[in-house]
Amino acid sequence: MKRFLFSFIKFIFPVIVLICGIEMYVLYYPSTFNKKAKYLKQHTDSIKTIILGSSHNQNALNPEFLNSQAINLANAGQDIQIDAALFFKNIGKLTSVNKVILEIDYHSLEEKNGPDYFRIPWYYRFYDIEIYPVSFLNRFSVYASSPSFFNQLILDEINPKKIRYKLNQFGFIMNDFPGVMEDLKYDSLKLAETAMERLKDKHVLQSVDNCNYNKSKLNTIIDYCIKNNIEVILISTPMYSTYINHQITAKNIRRMNYIDSLKNLSNIYYYNFENSNKFGVHDFKNDDHLNSIGSKKFTLIIDSLLNSAK
């Protein structure tokens, strides 16, 4: 029996060490998630601008180029219910905040994550918010939330041919260029020719129920900001023409009707850059995300607008 136990421990110990090592790597490697959470914790007294939204805002606004100290809490796949949870979890501690930037892009109002969204445990672990109940296992293991995602991440890290992303102190990627634009050598004709197949499933969901739910969440943020004299900046980020041509008219009508309903409220500003001629093919990484060059250009424009709105 002792020999069996010794053999079992000898076998299982390296496995436990490997699992713990992977979990520690997932938790502490320099990701946008943990760097943003760390920056938020270290600068609660001095942050003046909060940026929320999905990967559109995540890729578009680099706090490094804003005069006001800011944190970009936008993340890939982040919906408005998570925006609201992040806002209300932290706004009481962020005593210097006087501006909130909200993304209101084409897809924003009609997308809503369900309880099976794999990043839900990440928000629990890094930001202490629980949008949906988090399983016992996922409360202790971020890796368990999506082993396939993290396995690919680790494989990419050890692949010398994969790009090494560089993050600044704000958790913003400074060399974010890989994407269809780079793949097709920024050839606008090829991008147009391949757009139909590429975008056939991109943000095609239509949901009036989600739209109404998300409007109610945004309204709670806006109401809080009005009562506390915090400026609300709604932005629609730049999009490449292929993405704009793919949009569904009914979704845009619902979005613009909501934006119109906010125009007479105090301290609310809306800036629409979707069709802006200031951005060309070399400013994008794909049809609906700016690359690092485009993000610097866009952030400086927004910074100028923020200053003029005072």
Q: Average pLDDT of 83-92?
A: 97
Q: What pLDDT score does 155 carry?
A: 85
8 A C-beta contact, residue 293 and residue 282: yes
Q: Average pLDDT of 115-136?
A: 95
What average pLDDT does the chain have?
A: 92
C-alpha span between 231 and 189 (Å, rounded) = 41
The secondary structure of residue 50, as a DSSP letter, is E
Q: What pLDDT score does 245 carry?
A: 95
Nearest residue to 103 via CA among 66, 57, 161: 57
Nearest residue to 92 via CA among 47, 36, 34: 47
Domain locations in the chain as residue ranges: 25-308
8 A C-beta contact, residue 123 and residue 82: yes
Asked if pLDDT for residue 10 goes beyond 80, the answer is: no
Q: Is 25-308 CATH 3.40.50.300?
A: no
Q: What pLDDT score does 153 carry?
A: 83
Q: Average pLDDT of 112-138?
A: 95
Q: Who wins on pLDDT, 161 or 277? A: 277
Q: Average pLDDT of 101-122?
A: 96
C-alpha span between 20 and 30 (Å, rounded) = 17
At 20, the pLDDT band (50, 70, 90 cuts) reads confident
Q: What pLDDT score does 5 carry?
A: 59
Asked if pLDDT for residue 95 goes beyond 70, the answer is: yes
Q: What pLDDT score does 309 carry?
A: 59
Beta bridge partners of 101: 51, 233
- What are the start-end ranges of the E strands in the chain? 49-51, 70-72, 99-103, 231-236, 268-272, 284-286, 289-290
Q: What pLDDT score does 168 carry?
A: 95
Asked if pLDDT for residue 16 goes beyond 90, the answer is: no
Q: Please give the distance of CA 84 from its chain centroid, rounded to a whole number.
A: 13
